[in-house]
Amino acid sequence: MPDLDNDPLKNHPKMDESYSWATAEKVRERLHKNPPPLPIQENWDEAERVEGVYSSNAIEGSTLTLGETEAVLRGAIVPGKELNDHLAAINLNLAWKKMKDWAKNPITEHLLLEIHQIILTRINDEDAGRYRNRRVRIIGSEHVAPNPLAVSEKMTEVFKDFAGIGKRTPIEHAADLHSGIVTVHPFVDGNGRSSRLIQNVALMRGGFWPITIPLSERARYIEATAQANAGNYEPYRNYILEKVIDQGLQRLAMYD
């Protein structure tokens, strides 16, 4: 288990059984009791946003590097890169900036559609903010997405389940929302980016912080997601718990 009484990153191990809800709560408590100075927090938020935009788009096949993503967000055009890669970075950046405000209100289907609308604007305006009306195959997955006629009903079920937290922790709650969305695969495109972003909104509403899925862990993320698609939610819940703790400790290491 991470030593929260000393350097939070010293000898920090990868995910193991000692990574628990209690650990996440302890990290949250320390961050809330001792927030960083505003300039440090603003710098962290900007760096986190750029990395989050880069990683989420890269997971979906964008060829922009982290440095190129930052340049695009500052208004540059990167020679040799697709227009859609530029637009994907700009759109996701806009959605990321809205997360803090979105987290102040209940999380609903309407919010998911609003997120999707932003993410696909100027990339696919016909389908932006709309559930799919045709069958899709998920590349690299054996999971069969539901018939488009069933999508609306199944998404209502996903958000009905989300409305009742039950015995789940806020981290499990957020992770299960992501899992429910990607299992239905309600959109023609943008399912992963939309589900990861609304998962962050749910984490923030639960008192935590947004997380980034690193591109280097794409295979692990996809495998945990595939397990959730098959009805086994624990691997994905545990993975998100790890990311919350890891990235919470990184925040502490800024100034603690």
Taking the CB of residue 247, how many other CB atoms lie within 10 A of it?
16
Which is catalytic among the residues 86, 173, 178, 185?
185
pLDDT at 136: 87
Letter for the amino acid at 86? H
Retrieve residue 194's tokens: 């939309």
pLDDT (tens digit, 9 = 90+) per residue, 80-133? 999 999 999 999 999 999 999 999 999 999 999 999 999 999 999 999 999 999
| Whole-angstrom distance, CA of residue 85 vs CA of residue 123 | 9
For residue 110, indicate whether it is catalytic. Answer: no
Rounded Cα–Cα distance for residues 128 and 121 (Å): 6
Write the single-letter amino acid at 173. H
Distance, CA of 83 to CA of 93 (rounded, Å): 16
Query: Considering only CA atoms, which of 70, 105, 34, 51 is closest in space to residue 215?
Result: 51
Percent of the chain scoring above 70 in pLDDT: 92
The rounded distance, in Å, linking the Cα atoms of 237 and 176 is 7
Question: What's the residue count for the chain?
Answer: 256
The reported pLDDT for the residue numbered 10 is 42
The burial class, CB within 10 Å (0-12 / 13-18 / 19+), for 140 is: exposed
- Please tell me the pTM assigned to this model: 0.92
| Angle between the N-to-C axes of helices 191-205 and 83-102, in degrees from 0 to 180, rounded to the nearest 10 | 20
Token pair recorded at residue 163: 């409305």
Mean pLDDT, to the nearest integer, of 62-77? 98
Domain 21-253: CATH superfamily, name plus number = Fido-like domain (1.10.3290.10)
Q: Taking the domains of the chain in order of start, what are their residue ranges? A: 21-253
Round to whole Å and give the CA distance between 1 and 13: 8
Residues 228 and 13: their CA atoms lie apart, in Å, by: 25
Distances (CA, A) of 149 to 131, 137, 139, 195, 217: 10, 15, 21, 21, 34
217: which 2 tokens?
A: 């862990």
Q: Are 132 and 187 in contact (CB under 8 A)?
A: yes
Count of other CB atoms within 10 angstroms of residue 72 = 23
Higher pLDDT, 210 or 165: 210
Tens digits of residue pLDDT in 12-43: 444 455 699 999 999 999 999 988 899 999 99
